């Protein structure tokens, strides 16, 4: 086999490979000799079939197998010999001339093909102790825990029917039918629906109009759906609701005791407070970690400047751009609504794609040198979590898809690998904890996102205007890196 480098420019490489016809012939004769002892043909005793007769019958199919084997083996072997890591699977080009292809299969011509690929540039890992991170930490006060405990206990509070008019805080049991232009609409009706007035469960204006209603009373309520309402056919529309009030009930005393805790499935009020504190601290801890991770990625981005493989950048950009345009479409917005143009947005997101690829390659290199692995048990847990997001009747099919699809599994592995590398780096870096207030912790970092984004999801019945997708997508892209690294690593392993 003769290997000739025909292109070496930046990260781009092209290799021409020639396998002489005599080498192909030797491989074919070896394959025919193996088949001779096994094949059974009418008119010939076992092992006595002439090689030329076997060649006439199976020569081309055997030679096609040899060609495929050479293509499969040569990419891996040549790259290993050259000490190069491909960014993605090399592109293979062979002759498209049918006559030439027939001559190769007949053993009458050299087999020539080329490999075109980009390499992953060498990455020299720097001293992690030079990374300085200020980690914002919020100490959850007892008062905040108690407020949440009260809200939870309120969900199981007893209500006693009353004869008087409904006041804020009372629970009404109602039947209702929603109408647009006098005609009922899908999803706009319910029977025996319980609603606590002032809970803001329903769209603005609905609950207020039930204050003062009495059991047995019928009312017609007029409301306007928010412009950003999830159901597009209702967004911004004015509707009426024919409401029948079936019962009015006033709330009983709100107590936090062991009996209330046990009604919630917890052994005691103290245990309830302990669980609630753990949940709140976990939520704020996630924000703390995300902000520390952002600082880490920003510093890695500054420390590692190198040319990123163009094909990886293009693939990452396509993923980001697809999400951006999908988000805009779902929100009914345009680039002009985001105070930009499509051309400017493309340039911005292409820079983000390059950042993600570079950071992904850096994290992959760090993870490899630190021997960081994602265990089968971790993969299995993550896979189950992914599958559970789908309807139950689809879960088995989705599970089998992941199990049989290496690229899908790589997408499951990527965030696990990224978080483990981040943990490793945070353990090695110079991290200083800084006590902050709740508002300081939850505030968006304007310099990083370029805009304020919503800190929490709105309740389903109280839809807010859609946040700017440009800022949200940019933050999401900035905060992640591993998919590009994982793709490069999986391509390297399969080359």
Q: pLDDT by residue (tens digit) across 430-446?
A: 999 999 999 999 987 64
459 and 337 within one domain = yes
466 and 420 within one domain = yes
Q: What is the DSSP letter of 267?
A: S
**Residue 493: pLDDT above 90?**
no
438 and 328 within one domain = yes
Task: Tell which wins on pLDDT, 50 or 93.
Answer: 93
The candidate with the shortest Cα–Cα distance to 305, out of 343, 357, 342, 254, is: 357
**Residue where the block lists tokens 């891996």:** 76
Number of domains in the chain: 3
* Contact status, residue 473 vs residue 320, Cβ threshold 8 Å: yes
236 and 134 within one domain = no
**Residue 17: pLDDT above 90?**
yes
Q: What is the CATH number of the domain that holds 74?
A: 3.30.70.1050
Mean pLDDT for the stretch of residues 246-269: 91
Position 18 in a domain = yes
3-state secondary structure of 161: strand
69 and 40 within one domain = yes
Name the pLDDT band for 307 (thresholds 50, 70, 90).
Answer: very high
The candidate with the shortest Cα–Cα distance to 170, out of 79, 252, 230, is: 252
CB pairs under 8 A, 24+ apart, for 341-350? 345/470, 346/321, 348/474, 349/317, 349/320, 349/321, 349/324, 349/473, 349/474, 349/477, 350/313, 350/317
Position 205 in a domain = yes
296 and 231 within one domain = no
244 and 357 within one domain = no
Q: What is the CATH number of the domain that holds 168?
A: 3.10.50.40
Q: pLDDT by residue (tens digit) across 332-370?
A: 889 998 899 999 999 999 999 999 999 999 999 999 999
The Cα–Cα gap between 78 and 410 comes to 25
Q: What is the CATH number of the domain that holds 462?
A: 1.10.3120.10
Where does a domain end: 253, 276, 303?
253
97 and 40 within one domain = yes
179 and 37 within one domain = no
Where does a domain end: 218, 253, 288?
253
Name the pLDDT band for 465 (thresholds 50, 70, 90).
Answer: very low
Name the pLDDT band for 467 (thresholds 50, 70, 90).
Answer: very low
The Cα–Cα gap between 330 and 335 comes to 13
**Residue 486: pLDDT above 70?**
no
pTM assigned to the model: 0.71
- Tell me what pLDDT residue 296 has: 96
Name the pLDDT band for 454 (thresholds 50, 70, 90).
Answer: very low
Share of the chain above pLDDT 90, in %: 61
The candidate with the shortest Cα–Cα distance to 485, out of 339, 356, 293, is: 356
* Contact status, residue 482 vs residue 415, Cβ threshold 8 Å: yes
Position 258 in a domain = no
319 and 228 within one domain = no
Q: Quote the domain boundaries for residue 480.
A: 128-139+265-494
239 and 338 within one domain = no
Position 94 in a domain = yes
Position 230 in a domain = yes
397 and 361 within one domain = yes
Name the pLDDT band for 44 (thresholds 50, 70, 90).
Answer: confident
- Tell me what pLDDT residue 463 has: 31
């Amino acid at each position: 086999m003769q290997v000739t480098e025909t292109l070496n420019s930046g990260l781009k490489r092209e290799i021409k490979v020639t396998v002489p016809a005599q080498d192909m012939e030797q491989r074919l004769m070896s394959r025919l000799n193996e088949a001779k002892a096994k094949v059974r043909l009418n008119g010939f005793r076992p092992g006595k079939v002439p090689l030329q007769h076997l060649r006439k019958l199976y020569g081309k199919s055997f030679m096609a197998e040899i060609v495929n084997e050479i293509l499969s083996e040569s990419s891996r072997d040549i790259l290993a010999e050259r000490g190069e890591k491909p960014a993605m699977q090399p592109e293979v080009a062979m002759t498209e001339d049918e006559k030439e292809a027939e001559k190769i299969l007949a053993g009458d011509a050299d087999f020539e093909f080329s490999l075109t690929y980009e390499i992953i540039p060498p990455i020299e890992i720097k001293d992690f102790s030079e990374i300085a991170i200020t980690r914002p930490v919020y100490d959850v006060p007892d008062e905040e825990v108690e407020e949440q405990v009260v809200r939870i206990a309120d969900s199981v509070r007893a209500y006693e029917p009353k004869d008087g008019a409904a006041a804020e805080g009372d629970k009404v049991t109602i039947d209702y039918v929603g109408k647009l232009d006098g005609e009922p609409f899908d999803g706009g009706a319910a029977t025996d629906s319980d609603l606590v007035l002032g809970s803001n469960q329903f769209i603005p204006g609905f609950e207020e109009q039930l204050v003062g209603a009495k059991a047995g009373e019928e009312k017609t309520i007029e409301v306007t759906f928010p412009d950003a309402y999830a159901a597009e056919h209702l967004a911004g529309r004015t509707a009426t609701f024919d409401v029948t009030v079936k019962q009015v009930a006033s709330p009983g005393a709100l107590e936090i005791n062991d009996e209330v805790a046990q009604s919630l499935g917890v052994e005691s009020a103290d245990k309830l407070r302990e669980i609630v504190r753990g949940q709140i601290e976990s939520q704020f801890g996630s924000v703390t970690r995300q902000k520390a991770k952002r600082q880490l990625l920003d510093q890695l981005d500054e420390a590692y400047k190198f040319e990123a493989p163009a094909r990886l950048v293009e693939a990452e950009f396509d993923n980001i751009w697809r999400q951006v345009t999908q988000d805009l479409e779902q929100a009914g917005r345009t680039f002009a609504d985001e105070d930009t143009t499509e051309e400017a947005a493309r340039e911005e997101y292409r820079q983000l794609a390059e950042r993600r690829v570079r950071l992904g390659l850096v994290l992959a290199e760090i993870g490899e040198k630190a021997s960081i692995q994602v265990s089968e048990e971790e993969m299995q847990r993550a896979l189950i979590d992914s599958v559970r997001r789908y309807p139950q009747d689809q879960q088995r099919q989705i599970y089998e898809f992941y199990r049989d699809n290496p690229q899908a599994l790589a997408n499951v592995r990527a965030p696990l690998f990224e978080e483990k590398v981040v943990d490793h780096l945070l353990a090695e870096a110079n991290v200083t904890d800084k006590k902050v207030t709740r508002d300081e912790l939850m505030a968006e970092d304007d310099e990083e996102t370029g805009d304020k984004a919503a800190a929490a999801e709105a309740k389903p019945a109280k839809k807010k205007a859609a946040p700017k997708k440009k800022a949200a997508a940019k933050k999401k892209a900035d905060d992640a890196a591993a998919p590009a690294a994982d793709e490069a690593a999986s391509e390297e392993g399969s080359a």
